Amino acid sequence: MNPKILILGPPGAGKGTQSERLATEFDVEHVTTGDALRANKEMDISDMDLEYDTPGEYMDQGDLVPDVVVDAMVEEALSDLDGFVLDGYPRNGDQAEALREMTDLDVVLVLDVPEEELVDRLTGRRVCEDCGANYHVEFNQPEEEGVCDKCGGELYQREDDNEESVRNRLSVYHDNTEPVLELYEDHDGYVEIDGDQTPDEVWDDVRSAVESNA
Ligand code: ADP
Ligand code: ADP
Ligand code: ZN
């Protein structure tokens, strides 16, 4: 059986970076609400009677997209999957409750990184437009500037990786998502990881955590 892994941590903690490696190493699907929502930024949600008519309007400001939209996406993505690494969800208590009803989890990883470091990581992030791989202009450079090592795709900067949106996302995390961590503290397979190390060092800890809990 393939492991069911949840990876938690603030924006910029390295969830996407470590999830890519987990997906390859443990042969599981990388399910990420951020990527799923970016692919559906212009989706018409005007019939849902929400504040805005598309997910993109919430995302560009760094606000949470409403639960009804995100819960349905995750439920759809997880159905039929044997193993997965879930990244970017849950981000509040109601989403955590929705997830509990959707699936069980073998491993719950939390990446800890100090706040000052997160701003530098997010404002320097570059993403492959084809495969979604994450790079950094300073901390995690591709071999050739602007080009993805894995697939040759072009790297771009996300619209919401500007300082203003980053600060808002960190405050949204603090208010909505941080309290969710407590709900998992006693969960089987819960492991806190020091995310303030090199990507390879973090990976060593992440891999052993999954190996000993899956
Ligand atoms: P980061 O990698 O910086 O944490 P993500 O790519 O996970 O950012 O998310 C980008 C944006 O997508 C968020 O700022 C938010 O607007 C939206 N989003 C992603 N996941 C969720 C979620 N679980 N609930 C609500 N909104 C979400
Ligand atoms: P998240 O998915 O949690 O928002 P990412 O994996 O996208 O985080 O990483 C955010 C940025 O930080 C990216 O530019 C990435 O290349 C870089 N990064 C990831 N892990 C590390 C690390 N251990 N040290 C320094 N930079 C990192
Ligand atoms: Zn790529």
Residues whose CB is less than 8 angstroms from the CB of residue 177 and which lie 6 or more positions away in sequence, other chains included: 8, 10, 90, 91, 92
4 HSE (CA, 13 A, CB side): 13
pLDDT of 152 over the 80 cut: yes
* Active site amino acids: 15, 91, 125, 158, 169
Question: Average pLDDT over the chain, rounded to whole?
Answer: 96
Residue 163: the pLDDT is 92
pLDDT of 41 over the 90 cut: yes
Other beta carbons within 10 angstroms of residue 174's beta carbon come to 12
Residues with CB under 6 A from ligand 1: 11-12, 16, 33-34, 37, 58-59, 62-65, 70, 88-89, 91, 95, 160, 169
Evaluate whether 36 touches 63 at the Cβ level (below 8 Å): no
- Percentage of the chain surpassing pLDDT 70? 100
| Mean pLDDT of all residues in 192-196 | 98
Residue 190: the pLDDT is 97
Global confidence as pTM: 0.96
| Mean pLDDT of all residues in 61-82 | 95
**Number of helical (H) and strand (E) elements in the chain, helices listed first:** 9, 8
| Mean pLDDT of all residues in 105-125 | 96
